[in-house]
Structure 1
Amino acid sequence: MIILIFFLTHWFLSLFFQTFFLHRYASHKMFTTSKFWERTFYIMTWVFQGASFLNPRAYAILHRMHHAYSDTEKDPHSPHFFRDVFQMMWHTKIIFQEYVKYNREPETRFKGNYPEWRTVDIMASSMWSRLGFVAFYIAFYVIFATSWWMFLLLPIHFVMGPLHGALVNWCGHKYGYSNFDNGDHSKNTTPFDFFMLGELFQNNHHMHPNSPNFAKRWFELDPVYPVLKFMHWARIIKLRKAI
């Protein structure tokens, strides 16, 4: 039971900071916040993504490219140009690392207005940080696992961040229904997207990329949006458009 609680806690906290900080804030600036809270969220993203920390600047650039070139050959992670999800993940990783290392210059329209903290980026992306988290995950399982099959969950901890992104981009552009004709293959995979915290409302999101609420119909639920509304009410953040 302890292992399952740990796994689900890591899954949802890692996913929350990916959708809340990297996606809705870094990529789209759906809300504003103070420098103190921005840096707090930056550190929390590092802690909860752990071994699979994703650089906010590189994430924002790739995500903006994804919107601009959705499901075309210039899309860095459209599932319609790869034979399987692993090939798509590897292709995305190569492009992502080029922006992390400043080996590639993004188009002007994809640059700027994203959080940057070079010191944390260097530490969080270092091999020492990643291996330290890997060692922590392994030690936790050695101490608390009560059955051999639980160790099969360990690799998911190691690649949690990229795995979340792959699930969203693969499933969200192949399976489900569409509310809008966006000129791409974006889909809403499920009307109750609790498991992926609203990220699988891809069709809605591509139609309204700056809306903090990914759900658009009465039967759809984006579980992160009420959290944003509460944080807006508590003045931790200020929603760009509170709807």
Structure 2
Amino acid sequence: MLIVLFVAVLWYGGLFFQSFFLHRYAAHQVFTMSKTMERITFVLTWIFQGPSYLSAYGYGVMHRMHHAYTDTENDPHSPSHDANLFAMMWRTKTIYQDINTQKIEVDQRFTKNVPQWKGFDLFASSRFSRLLWIAGYVLFFALFATAWWQWLLLPMTFLMAPIHGMIINWFGHIYGYVNFKMKNTSKNLFRFDFLMMGEGYHNNHHKHASSANFGVKWYEIDITYLIIKVLDAFGFIRLKRI
């Protein structure tokens, strides 16, 4: 079914660029890339995230704050300090926007070398851009939906990036198993992370934040890391050797 395929492409495409570009590159800089490749990846992130596009700068800074303040009152997103997942996501949205618009002062350690393309972000994050994507998605569904239940998937396409964040930042601190006992609630959601392309190994990541590979056990296959290895082999990026 074309609609299901479309949603799957948006899910895994948007998730990949969130994990590859926003998380592992912008926030943790586990690999390097040329300025040209960086700009290409900005555009690809916008294409696959569509109406839920996230700025590399806002995401990168906020995620560094999450690692520094995990499960404390200063954590931008924590089940330990928010009544429910909707309250957490709303607070996350507010902090993310305040970082992007410079309404709050941010410690320099959180902003150092975080990639930023102000002109493009201004467009990609604009109401015009988001509404254009939404209109395109609605038109696609109108042309190709063949059953009423397929329309239930439409709202998810508008909020794909926040949904990805919610799964990790809420459920990844409540459910799952632990490889490393730490002073936070991070957990691994799946033994084989088929759903979140490696992002679900959240406990492993909090233990080894500078590692490009979020998997630790033999069965913890990090799909995003495998793609990173291929991109490194072909010279598109340069993986840092740890």
Q: Give TM class, smaller chain.
A: over 0.9
| 1:52 matches 2:52 | yes
Q: Deviations over 1:44-92 (max 9, x none)?
A: 0011111000011110111000000111111110112122211110010
What is the match of residue 34 of structure 1? 34
Q: CA deviation at 1:174?
A: 0.7
| 1:72 matches 2:72 | yes
Rounded Cα–Cα distance in structure 1 between residues aligned with 2:100 and 2:74: 19
Normalising by structure 2, report the TM-score: 0.98
Rounded Cα–Cα distance in structure 1 between residues aligned with 2:176 and 2:241: 27
What is the match of residue 12 of structure 2? 12
Rounded Cα–Cα distance in structure 2 between residues aligned with 1:130 and 1:95: 20
Q: Deviations over 1:149-208 (max 9, x none)?
A: 111111111111111111111111111111112210000111111211111111000000
What is the match of residue 25 of structure 1? 25
Q: Which amino acid aligns with 2:44?
A: M
Identity of matched residues, %: 48
What is the match of residue 112 of structure 1? 112
What is the match of residue 199 of structure 1? 199
Q: Deviations over 1:188-241 (max 9, x none)?
A: 111111211111111000000010000001121111111111111101101112
Worse overlay, 188-197 or 15-24: 188-197
Normalising by structure 1, report the TM-score: 0.98
| 1:164 matches 2:164 | yes
Q: Which amino acid aligns with 1:183?
A: K
- Give the superposed CA RMSD: 0.9
Worse overlay, 24-33 or 110-119: 110-119
Q: Which runs of 5+ in 2 are unaligned?
A: none
Rounded Cα–Cα distance in structure 1 between residues aligned with 2:39 and 2:112: 17
Rounded Cα–Cα distance in structure 2 between residues aligned with 1:74 and 1:153: 34
Equivalent position SS for 2:238: strand
Q: CA deviation at 1:115?
A: 1.1
Q: Which amino acid aligns with 1:39?
A: R
What is the match of residue 232 of structure 1? 232
What is the match of residue 208 of structure 2? 208
Equivalent position SS for 1:241: coil
Q: Which amino acid aligns with 1:229?
A: K
Q: Which runs of 5+ in 1 are unaligned?
A: none
What is the match of residue 155 of structure 2? 155
What is the match of residue 125 of structure 2? 125
| Matched residues, number | 242
Rounded Cα–Cα distance in structure 2 between residues aligned with 1:78 and 1:59: 15
Q: Deviations over 1:13-42 (max 9, x none)?
A: 000000000000000001001111111001
Rounded Cα–Cα distance in structure 2 between residues aligned with 1:208 and 1:149: 42
